[in-house]
């Protein structure tokens, strides 16, 4: 079996597997952007986040970095964390195990090679792992990150207001938020709606005493779903942070 579908879709399996969906608190949430870098979009996000004094985690796509290495470097220079979202933005259920390993290694090579930054986190396209991506991420020392809240900002009918409402509805201390700073795998112009949502979203988070930040420096200790009997301990990453497991979802 090389298909480990979205974890939430595996009844009873969740306790065996660990992914990060939350960051350490109190008073923090993780802010993540997938699918970039796109040169037309990146400066706007960097300006918006910079003026707000917010850092985030950008899950970069290898082929996007290969097209726009300068945009990837700009993200790093602005003080944000970068992470891996694969080389090709493909559902891993469509990849053979060898192709999966090649995809992740190629992504690492181009992302780290072009930016000089180490990678500590991985989120597969659409949030879907297969067994090879699950294991390879661990071998490469990457924490597997999904999300707890999303804006569904890739949808053609998304508006800045809808994106904010979707993220904020039911948000809890520690939640990892999924947004997209690129339209390459979404609807045309989607990043402009996401960008317009950044300032009001951050303002509302702060009004609720939730400070957005990157996933990496604030990763939470594991929620002990599997910890009682020791299951899942193998997923502890090299950097000593322990992933947590909660919630469910799709896309990315």
Among 86, 160, 174, 252, binds Zn ion (CB under 5 A): 252
Nearer to Zn ion, 20 or 226 (CB): 20
We find the least distance from the C-beta atom of residue 228 to Zn ion, in angstroms, to be 34
Question: Strand, coil or helix: what is 51?
Answer: helix
230 burial (CB, 10 Å; 0-12 / 13-18 / 19+) is exposed
Nearer to Zn ion, 125 or 213 (CB): 125
Binding segment for Zn ion (CB under 5 A), chosen from 45-53, 76-84, 170-178, 244-252, is: 244-252
We find the least distance from the C-beta atom of residue 34 to Zn ion, in angstroms, to be 4
We find the least distance from the C-beta atom of residue 186 to Zn ion, in angstroms, to be 8
We find the least distance from the C-beta atom of residue 191 to Zn ion, in angstroms, to be 12
Among 18, 20, 35, 183, binds Zn ion (CB under 5 A): 35
- Does position 181 interact with Zn ion (CB under 5 A)? The reply is no
Considering only residues 110 to 129 of the shown chain, the ones binding Zn ion according to CB under 5 A are 125
Nearer to Zn ion, 52 or 66 (CB): 66
Nearer to Zn ion, 5 or 200 (CB): 5
Contacts of 239 (CB under 8 A, 6+ apart): 120, 141, 143
Long-range interactions of 90-99: CB distance < 8 A, separation 24+: 90/125, 91/125, 91/126, 91/128, 92/124, 92/125, 92/128, 92/129, 92/130, 92/132, 92/133, 93/3, 93/5, 93/128, 93/130, 95/130, 95/132, 95/133, 96/2, 97/2, 97/130, 97/131, 97/132, 98/132
- Does position 34 interact with Zn ion (CB under 5 A)? The reply is yes
Binding site for Zn ion (CB under 5 A): 34-35, 125, 252
């Amino acid at each position: 079996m090389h298909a480990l579908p979205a974890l939430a879709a595996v009844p009873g399996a969740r306790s065996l597997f660990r992914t990060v969906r939350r960051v350490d608190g109190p008073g923090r949430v993780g802010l993540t952007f997938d699918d970039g870098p796109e040169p037309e979009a990146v400066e706007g996000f960097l300006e918006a986040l910079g003026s707000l004094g917010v850092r985030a985690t950008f899950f970069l796509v290898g082929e996007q970095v290969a097209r726009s290495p300068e945009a990837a470097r700009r993200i790093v220079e602005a003080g944000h964390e970068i992470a891996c979202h694969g080389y090709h933005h493909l559902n891993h259920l469509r990849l053979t195990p060898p192709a999966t390993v090649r995809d992740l290694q190629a992504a690492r090579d181009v992302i780290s090679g072009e930016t000089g930054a180490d990678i500590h986190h991985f989120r597969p396209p659409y949030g879907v792992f297969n067994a090879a991506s699950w294991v390879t991420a661990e071998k490469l020392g990457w924490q597997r990150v999904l999300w707890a809240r999303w804006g569904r900002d890739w949808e053609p009918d998304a508006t800045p207001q809808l994106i904010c409402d979707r993220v904020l509805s039911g948000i809890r201390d520690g939640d990892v938020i999924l947004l997209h700073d690129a339209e390459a795998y979404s609807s045309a112009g989607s990043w402009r709606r996401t960008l317009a949502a950044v300032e009001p979203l951050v303002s509302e988070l702060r009004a609720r005493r939730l400070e957005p930040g990157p996933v990496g420096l604030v990763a939470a200790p594991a929620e002990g779903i599997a910890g009682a009997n020791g299951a899942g301990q193998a997923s502890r990453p090299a950097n000593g942070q322990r992933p947590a497991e909660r919630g469910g979802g799709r896309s990315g």
